[in-house]
Amino acid sequence: MTFDIAVTGAAADAVARMVPQLVSDGVASGITTQDSSLWGADAEDEASRRLGWVEAVAASEALVPDIIALRDLLRSRGVNHIVLGGMGGSSLAPEVIARTAGVELTVLDTTDPGQVLSALHDRLATTALVISSKSGSTVETDSQKRVYEQAFREHGIDPVDRIVIVTDPGSPLDSSARADGYRVFNADPNVGGRFSALTAFGLVPCGLAGVDIQHLLDDAESVSLQLALDTPSNPGLVLGAAIAGTRPLKDKLGIVADGTYIVGFGDWAEQLIAESTGKHGRGILPVVLHVDSPEISAGLPDLQIVRLVHDRRATEEVIEGEIEISGTLGAQILVWEYATAVAGRLLGINPFDQPDVESAKIATRGLLDARPQPSAAAFVDGEIEVRGTGVDGVDSVRAAVDGLLEQLGPDGYLSIQAYANRIAFRELAQLRSILAERAGRPVTFGWGPRFLHSTGQLHKGGPGVGVFLQITTVELLDLEIPGRPFSFGQLIQAQAAGDATVLAEHGRPVLTLTLHDPANTVEALLSALR
């Protein structure tokens, strides 16, 4: 399958206006040769340490034989179930790669105690765990590693035989894991997490799970020459201009995939775009949509629709105003990475930093240290506690949510953030379409705490036009974290409270709904809001 892109409407106007200048400025070749000056003097230092992804395909070739050899060794020992403990870029890319390939990979990108317990109880005897952390100090992955080490030992299994580490060279995790005898794969330290799909972070868990990772790299390689050339047809320049060059800027990007050949791509692209562009009051908000999402037909002037289709040339005429793209997953990944770097240049921001991500982590650590009691609920509706914005003078969940939606401006968006077990309570994701119908504006949905490592940057650093509906749960069972003074339940509650605090400090409206006994409360919430 060849990579193909068609643009119409305002996006086509942006391409016609912006691409000739991008070609004249040598932006494509500059990205390929890792010219760190392309994003201005303020970004040059960071960019000089974050452009290794343009060489990821070639650099990762050497990893493939080692990954396949380890996969075969594990399988010879009866180990055929791979669990990935990772957050943000360490989990989103492996998830879309494995799902698209139809290969089972259990992605544990959460601190929800129920979801962690479910993973621990799933085929432990034949499980290997991949712990992926670029910094080597991520609290979620450290907690997952600790609880799996204990579980393996309790079942008479040496953790060294079952845990594989992926991290940057010289990280705290790199040093401690090697000292403990774990198998370690190092990733290129000059690649940021959200650009790491084609590095060890994407390849190791997927390769161990059974994905043909050489084929993935070959697909990316097939488009690399096009991306390096300063030509008007360069798909990275075209896509970058189409999503960041419209005037006025369409700063919401509706990503629609038919779901038949690339599965879950929007979730990966969401982090790539939001965390790269959302800062200094600017940014592009990705909105992951289904083919029948209400936003598509609403004609919203600030929403640019891009469709991923199996074969663009086989479709009928492209819908006016939309972008349509087809290509293999490996090619799509590389094109969108180039396009995001181009978008950063057009927006005048540094696409490689994430200045607001750390704020929620700091707030979480403070809450874990102080361990304060939760603030009193404004009111309780059934088994749902209600706190935050839009609760004055109301006494029901529906009225409180209506109050939040009333604060949506003509250029605003609603972000739903569910700190919950995304396997057991996946129906919570229905809230996105339910509230999109009522809001008449773009609505995003993210599972906490994983979105803190992705779209959380845009929520705080991007345009201050979002309103936030936070869903938290209190489960009947908690899970201790070995060697830590807090449990998984306390950790996820602190992460939710910390993020709500930081959003409020940025002047963002936040409404928090806490569901007690969620197994019996989720449907009541959905019914109240339908």
Instruction: Write down the pLDDT at residue 16.
Output: 98
Which residues lie closer than 8 Å to 460 by C-beta, 6 or more apart?
A: 356, 359, 360, 502, 503, 506, 508
Residue 224 placed within a domain: no
77: domain CATH number? 3.40.50.10490
Most confident of 153-167, 351-365, 377-391, 447-461: 153-167
Burial of 201 (0-12, 13-18, 19+ CB in 10 A): buried
Residues 325 and 266 grouped into a single domain:
yes
Residue 221 placed within a domain: no
* Residue 7: pLDDT over 80: yes
Residue 271 placed within a domain: yes
How confident is the model over 342-358, as a mean pLDDT? 93
**Domain span at residue 171?**
61-216
Residues 47 and 144 grouped into a single domain:
no
Listed residues 187, 216, 245: the one ending a domain: 216
* Residue 334: pLDDT over 90: yes
How confident is the model over 338-366, as a mean pLDDT? 91
Listed residues 347, 366, 381: the one ending a domain: 347
Residue 120 placed within a domain: yes
Residues 241 and 306 grouped into a single domain:
yes
Instruction: Write down the pLDDT at residue 449.
Output: 93
Instruction: Write down the pLDDT at residue 344.
Output: 98
Over 16-85, what HEC string results?
A: HHHHHHHHHCCHHHHHHCCCHHHHCHHHHHHHCCCCHHHHHHHHHCCHHHHHHHHHHHHHHCCCCEEEEE
Residues 137 and 164 grouped into a single domain:
yes
Listed residues 183, 216, 249: the one ending a domain: 216
Residue 206 placed within a domain: yes
Reported confidence tier of residue 390, pLDDT bands at 50, 70, 90: confident
Residue 25 placed within a domain: yes
Instruction: Write down the pLDDT at residue 456.
Output: 87
Residues 168 and 22 grouped into a single domain:
no
Phi then psi dihedrals of residue 319, to 5 deg = -65, 130
Residue 269 placed within a domain: yes
How confident is the model over 4-32, as a mean pLDDT? 98
* Number of domains present in the structure of the chain: 3
Residues 139 and 39 grouped into a single domain:
no
pTM here is 0.96
* Residue 190: pLDDT over 80: yes
Reported confidence tier of residue 426, pLDDT bands at 50, 70, 90: very high
Residues 79 and 182 grouped into a single domain:
yes
Reported confidence tier of residue 387, pLDDT bands at 50, 70, 90: very high
Residues 66 and 197 grouped into a single domain:
yes
Residues 260 and 405 grouped into a single domain:
no
* Residue 316: pLDDT over 70: no
Which residues lie closer than 8 Å to 194 by C-beta, 6 or more apart?
A: 88, 89, 271, 272, 275, 276, 454
Higher pLDDT, 311 or 450: 450
Residues 525 and 380 grouped into a single domain:
yes
* Residue 314: pLDDT over 70: no
Residue pLDDT, tens place only, 448-485: 999 888 788 999 999 999 999 999 999 889 999 999 99
How confident is the model over 266-275, as a mean pLDDT? 96
Residue 201 placed within a domain: yes
Reported confidence tier of residue 315, pLDDT bands at 50, 70, 90: low
Query: Across the chain, what does the average pLDDT equal?
Result: 95
Residue 248 has which token pair?
A: 């006025």
Residues 119 and 13 grouped into a single domain:
no
Residue pLDDT, tens place only, 194-232: 999 999 999 999 999 999 999 999 999 999 999 999 999
How confident is the model over 358-382, as a mean pLDDT? 85
Residues 47 and 70 grouped into a single domain:
no
